[in-house]
A and B are shown apart, each in its own frame.
Chain A
Amino acid sequence: EAQVTQNPRYLITVTGKKLTVTCSQNMNHEYMSWYRQDPGLGLRQIYYSMNVEVTDKGDVPEGYKVSRKEKRNFPLILESPSPNQTSLYFCASSPAGALANYGYTFGSGTRLTVV
């Protein structure tokens, strides 16, 4: 089944403890992206990647890092999480240049709480 898989689904952590949220897609998509969803603010893009080793900042990149060493994986790294990063995170992927046909495929989300 074609899908975007995020892990974990739920995570509670403490301020300053490094964490990684994984994202993997099995559709050979070039484009991958991370969003955070907060009430009333919709989805805001954190980082995106056009292909392997090609990443760029979205609208709210502060406090986050990403890497794209392989086409299928796009992990989100929080080096020193803070409570304002408590949010619902979504990973999404799409074929390059094919947004018209496919839109984004979203993962199931990761609910992160930083205490």
Chain B
Amino acid sequence: AQSVSQHNHHVILSEAASLELGCNYSYGGTVNLFWYVQYPGQHLQLLLKYFSGDPLVKGIKGFEAEFIKSKFSFNLRKPSVQWSDTAEYFCAVNPNNNAGNMLTFGGGTRLMVKP
């Protein structure tokens, strides 16, 4: 079965610092990739997704992610974080092979941005 790894469980940054959160998956076939964000006390919201085409995808709130197929990675980046980016971030993978709508999530990375 496929798995998704987010190696950074907790990240603490100061405002205006740059952010990169790692995501690696184990599935060998074609995949669809997602990043979700969960603000404190709220449900998950879609940040961005990759299905095909340009491996650099841009999402909401200034976030972007780069799909590197050779590294099985889909890292999330933001050039300058804000205090309001404090949240938990989840990477998710959907195998593009008749798996329908199933998503496998990583363990999450909790980001704290200090004002």
Contact = CB atoms under 8 A, between A and B. Distances in A.
**Secondary structure at chain B's binding surface: helix, strand, loop or mixed?**
loop
Interface stretch (B66-74, B75-83, B97-105): B97-105
B49 A96 contact: no
Contacts of B46: 103-104
Contacts of A92: 44
Contact of B34 (A41, A58, A103, A107): A103
A74 interface: no
B25 interface: no
Interface residues of A, number: 26
Chain A CB within 10 Å — which of B1, B94, B108 has the most? B108
B43 interface: yes
Interface residues of B, number: 25
Given A41-B107, A48-B102, A109-B43, A100 B90 contact: no
Contact of B101 (A43, A94, A106): A94
A43 B90 CA distance: 9
A65 interface: no
A45 interface: yes
Interface of B: 1, 4, 6, 9, 32, 34, 36, 42-46, 49, 51, 90, 94, 100-108
Interface of A: 31, 33, 35, 40-45, 48, 50, 58-59, 90, 92, 94, 96-97, 99-100, 103-104, 106-109
